[in-house]
């Protein structure tokens, strides 16, 4: 039960990270930025490249500090990259239609989302790729001494196109032992290296996302409430024409809002993919939708609302199926967790359309 609760909270924290971007952008230009999930995906991919090419996959183990540093590097790259993509997207896609009305902007957002997804498929392939995990490299001669776990053997092979790639095969399933025959076969087949995957402890990843949210929430609150840029954001959100005439460069303020929203989504992207172990161009879709639900549950436009909504949704997605399975003996309950999330959205929209912390907006007459 506690385990499910913690899982739910950790997942909720990831939703909250994404929901923040939705809610901030909505707050300032009243746009539901459907491409936000793609900023998240882009961040996750950048994190993937850092971890794969510079980080954990290349590091000799055991070495706790460099591993930690490589995750920090991945998170930084993901956040900055997602933020930069958001700024570019806003500049070329949203700014030109800003005065064309909300429907035009919404349609643009859906298109941007599809374009980014397809660009990612073109660039990185449609197949899901395993998210890098720390590896312990083992000498082939020393295989007998290796702990029985997920062992992978690597060899260079030439593809039909003449390209040399590193080919990996899983040689021993988790928990099984490596026998002499397998070892001999590996060597005969020309495998130069063997490594063991050391999965991150789930407790650690959960702890990390919750801690990250705990650190980020006050920073964001501070930026929006206390700084001049934050005040400018609130001014633009309420009356952007007055803000312009008071010397506030609204293009810059809006760009910063996009940057900041995508920056935190980048953190969520890496955290999400580390927890689920894979990344693909469509990675952003479902968490993006869920985070949108979280933002609506919390009250769109409200920063504390996005955090609360994320945590509520994550917990509900974990505890409700758990209760249904344990209480009613319904084994398939967890397969229905997405349906539960969307049902929650419908309930909120019917009974409290402004969300938990949202305020009713009186239409100006």
Partner 1 sequence: MIFEARGLTKRYGGLTAVSGVDMELAQGDLVGLIGPNGAGKTTCFNLITGADAPTSGTIRFKGEDVTRARDFQMARKGVARTFQNIRLWKEMDVLDNVRAVCRAGEPCGFAAAALRLPRFRRVERAVTEKATSLLQRLGLGDVLAESPGDLPYGDQRRLEIARALALDPDLLLLDEPAAGMNPTEKARLMETVRDLRREFDLTILLIDHDMKFVMGICERIYVLDHGERIAHGTPAEIRCDKKVIEAYLGSEC
Which string of DSSP letters, residue by residue, matches 105-137?
HHHHHHHHHHHHHHHHHHHH-SS-EEPP--EEE
- Number of neighbouring beta carbons within 10 Å of residue 121: 14
Crossing angle of helices 250-276 and 285-298, in 10° steps, is 120
Name the helix (H) or strand (E) containing 307. helix 303-328
Which of 91, 244 has the CB closer to partner 1? 244
CB of 237 to partner 1, least distance (A): 8
Which of 244, 325 has the CB closer to partner 1? 244
Q: What is the dihedral of CA 338, 341, 344, 348, to 10 degrees?
A: -130
Dist CA 158 CA 72 (whole Å): 34
CB of 301 to partner 1, least distance (A): 11
Which of 171, 213 has the CB closer to partner 1? 213
Which residues in this chain contact partner 1 in the complex, by CB under 8 A?
Answer: 219, 222-223, 226-229, 231-232, 234-235, 237-239, 241-250, 256
Distances (CA, A) of 245 to 100, 215, 234, 253, 256: 21, 35, 15, 14, 19
Which of 223, 323 has the CB closer to partner 1? 223
Residue bearing tokens 């999400």? 272
Which of 202, 252 has the CB closer to partner 1? 252
- For the chain, helix (H) and strand (E) counts, in that order, are 12, 6
CB of 43 to partner 1, least distance (A): 18
CB of 249 to partner 1, least distance (A): 5
Dist CA 317 CA 103 (whole Å): 31
CB of 244 to partner 1, least distance (A): 5
CB of 10 to partner 1, least distance (A): 25
Q: What Rg value do the Cα atoms of the chain yield, rounded? A: 23
Which of 245, 332 has the CB closer to partner 1? 245
Which of 241, 331 has the CB closer to partner 1? 241
Which of 80, 107 has the CB closer to partner 1? 80
Q: Quick one: which of 104, 120, 32, 47 has its CA closest to 268?
A: 47
Which of 144, 219 has the CB closer to partner 1? 219
CB of 246 to partner 1, least distance (A): 5
CB of 251 to partner 1, least distance (A): 9
Phi, psi for residue 223 in degrees, rounded to 5:
-60, -40
Which string of DSSP letters, residue by residue, matches 165-209?
EEEEEEEE-TTPPPPHHHHHHHHHTT--EEEEE-PPPHHHHHHHH
Dist CA 250 CA 227 (whole Å): 16
Contact criterion met (CB below 8 Å) for 147 and 198: no
CB of 247 to partner 1, least distance (A): 3
């Amino acid at each position: 039960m506690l385990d499910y609760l913690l899982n739910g909270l950790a997942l909720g924290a990831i939703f909250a990270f994404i929901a923040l971007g939705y809610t901030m952008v909505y707050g300032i230009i009243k746009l539901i930025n459907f491409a936000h999930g793609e900023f998240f995906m882009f961040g996750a991919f950048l994190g993937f490249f850092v971890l794969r090419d510079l980080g954990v996959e290349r590091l000799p183990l055991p070495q706790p500090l460099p591993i930690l540093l490589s995750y920090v590097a991945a998170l930084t790259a993901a956040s900055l990259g997602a933020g930069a993509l958001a700024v570019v997207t806003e500049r070329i896609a949203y700014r030109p239609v800003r005065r064309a009305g909300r429907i035009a902007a919404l349609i643009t957002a859906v298109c941007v989302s599809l374009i980014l997804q397809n660009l990612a498929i073109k660039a990185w392939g449609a197949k899901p790729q395993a998210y890098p995990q720390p590896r312990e490299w083992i000498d082939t001669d020393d295989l007998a001494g290796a702990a029985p776990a997920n062992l992978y053997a690597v060899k260079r092979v030439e593809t039909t196109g003449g390209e040399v790639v590193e080919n990996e095969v899983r040689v021993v399933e988790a928990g099984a032992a490596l026998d002499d025959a397998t070892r001999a076969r590996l060597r005969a087949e020309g495998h130069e290296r063997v490594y063991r995957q050391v999965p991150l402890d789930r407790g650690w990843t959960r702890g990390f996302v919750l801690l990250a949210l705990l650190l980020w929430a006050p920073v964001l609150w501070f930026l929006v409430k206390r700084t001049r840029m934050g005040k400018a954001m609130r001014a633009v959100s309420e009356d952007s024409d007055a803000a312009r005439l008071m010397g506030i460069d609204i293009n810059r303020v809006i760009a910063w809002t996009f940057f900041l929203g995508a920056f935190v989504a980048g953190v969520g992207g890496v955290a999400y993919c580390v927890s689920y172990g894979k990344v693909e161009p469509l990675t952003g879709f479902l968490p993006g939708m869920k985070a949108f639900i979280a933002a609506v549950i919390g009250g769109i436009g409200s920063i504390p609302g996005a955090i609360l909504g994320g945590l509520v949704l994550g917990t509900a997605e974990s505890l409700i199926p758990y209760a249904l399975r344990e209480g009613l003996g319904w084994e398939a309950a967890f397969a229905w967790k997405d349906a539960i999330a969307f049902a929650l959205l419908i309930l909120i929209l019917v009974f409290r359309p402004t969300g938990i912390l949202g305020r009713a907006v009186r239409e100006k007459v």
